Amino acid sequence: MNSEHALLSSPVDRRTILRSTALAAGVTALGAASPGVAAASPPATDGTELVLLGTAAGPSPGVERFGIASALVVRGNVYIIDCGLGAVSQYVRAGLAPERLKGIFITHLHADHIADYFTFATFLAPLIRARTGRVPEIDVHGPPSAGALPAVPGVDWVAPHRPTPGLADLTRLSHEAFAYSANTFLAERIGFDPTRVLRVHEVALPDVGASPIGDTAPVMRPFPVLRNDDVEVTAILVSHGVVFPSLAYRFETEHGSVVFSGDTALTPNIPTLAHGADVLVHEASDPQWWHEHGAGDEFVEHMRTTHTDVLDLGAVARRSQASSLVLSHIGEFQSHARWQQRAAAGARRGGYDGKVVVGKDLMRLRLPRTR
């Protein structure tokens, strides 16, 4: 597999694309690194690079894909987007420097997006401390409490006294749950207070009429989340069933822009946020596969109304005027080659002529060095 980084702005070699079914060569052209190659060749410190740590959809553990997580590396500084199962292990396998972790961004609080969130405090933070001699402070940005859930007859909520914890409560309760482990290490004078590690910033939502029991993602403009010397981050609400808030993020760097859709059904908010982006990293579903393989009507309808059909992604990318489309958050229920075929069909149907890549774990995609 080609391990060299390739510029996302380079022209598409049509003969290369035709060498394999659908978009198989798109992966090669944009550079996919095996675990060994990634560890041996850590990301450069003079540009911007997207590293797909995990590309799996849903909570079920897989063989070829770890849970959804991405890293945007800007001049060697690392920003994590979602913390799916295995994210910390993949962080290390990708050759990312633990001490260069500058921030974590959570799109929404479904378990498959936060499974390894607290692991950054309990496993990666000690490694950072061992390397630097200090307890790290990692800024985390993500959803506040939804505040309410829609009424569902016959459903008893888990933890009815606190049915909608936001990121701050999630973090606090995780510290409480792991307190014995932390306290025993403190008692033995080899540990540190992990509550110092994760500095939570719940994203302040603009008043656009969004509601956890109404329209969870009305048509709106992007709003600011963070700005520093590396990145300018904006966000927008997206539609993901009853989940509220569910966020998509855009990262502007001096080398280009990358947008992460999070989990979302079709919404005009994605083309708004992703307008003119260099890379749109978008989730993908295939309800047709589930229908053809005997899934119940209720489940198929759930997939259609809470996620984006792979056949619609070409139109999304075209409306966004994104230079490149990268599929992530995809299921192992069908092969990588089949996802490539479906992505190619979606690009044709949507009239999208940009680059399309079906993500693989530890794939690294380098942005242009200059704007």
- Give the CATH number of the domain where residue 267 resides: 3.60.15.10
pTM of the model: 0.89
Asked if the structure places residue 321 within a domain, the reply is: yes
Asked if the structure places residue 160 within a domain, the reply is: no
Host domain of residue 255: 14-146+165-205+217-366
Digits of tens for pLDDT over the chain (371 positions)? 333 233 343 333 332 222 222 222 233 233 333 333 334 356 667 899 999 999 999 998 989 999 999 999 999 999 999 999 999 999 999 999 999 999 999 999 999 999 999 999 999 999 999 999 999 999 999 999 999 999 889 888 998 888 999 999 999 999 999 999 999 999 999 999 999 999 999 999 999 999 999 999 999 999 999 999 999 999 999 999 999 999 999 999 999 999 999 999 999 999 999 999 999 999 999 999 888 998 899 998 999 999 999 999 999 999 999 999 999 999 999 999 999 999 999 999 999 999 999 999 999 999 976 55
Asked if the structure places residue 2 within a domain, the reply is: no
- When divided into structural domains, the chain yields a total of 1
Cα first-last separation, the chain: 28
Asked if the structure places residue 98 within a domain, the reply is: yes
Asked if the structure places residue 159 within a domain, the reply is: no
Asked if the structure places residue 6 within a domain, the reply is: no
Asked if the structure places residue 212 within a domain, the reply is: no
Structure tokens at 320: 């966004």
Asked if the structure places residue 5 within a domain, the reply is: no
